[in-house]
Amino acid sequence: MITVIVGTNAHDSATKIIADIYIDKLKSLGVKHQLLQLKDMPTDILASDMYFNRKPSFVAFSEKYLEPTEKYIIVIPEYNGGIPGIFKLMMDASDIAKCWWGKKACLTGVAAGRSGNLRGLDTLTNYLNYLKVDVLKNKIPISRVHTLIEDGQLIDKDTIDILHVQLDDFLSF
């Protein structure tokens, strides 16, 4: 199972529009997959005992989206020069052995600005490697994302093409 993660809980996010490119291609290839948007993460997650006494809502979330995943495609927006806190919160709340150890990941950064979340891609690679996740070397930073989108769709052919090549790499990774 491949899980495509929209790495923010923001509504109407550009990150979701990029994630849709992977979803469409996985669908057309008939590869088993699911979409995880962090806006669907349980909101009662936050409590001081969350690390060792997971709420039933988070356990159900984890059993649906994280534990059955073999490969993650993580589309991660740039928030204040790095990854959104909500994504790190999900990692910290999770059972790392069940959710991360021995899995694989493919990363794409999304930013309104120039850097395409390059710093966040490096940071997230380090976090994932620490959690025993192998990360595909082909990581794509998407800069000035709003100039590539029209009517809620990614319209830049070059970007679509490199995302497709990256996905081909990841399927054989």
Ligand X SMILES: Cc1cc2nc3c(=O)[nH]c(=O)nc-3n(C[C@H](O)[C@H](O)[C@H](O)COP(=O)(O)O)c2cc1C
Minimum distance, C-beta of residue 67 to ligand X, in the bound complex (Å)? 25
Binders in 17-76 for ligand X, by CB under 6 A: none
Of 19, 128, 145, 163, the one binding ligand X by CB under 6 A: 145
- Interatomic CA distance for residues 54 and 165, integer angstroms: 38
Minimum distance, C-beta of residue 84 to ligand X, in the bound complex (Å)? 7
Residue 113: DSSP 8-state: S
Of 2, 3, 5, 13, the one binding ligand X by CB under 6 A: 13
Nearer to ligand X, 8 or 94 (CB): 8
SS3 track for 85-121: HHHHHHHHHCCHHHHCCCCEEEEEEECCCCCCCHHHH
- Interatomic CA distance for residues 82 and 43, integer angstroms: 22
Binding site for ligand X (CB under 6 A): 8, 10, 13-15, 77-81, 110-113, 145
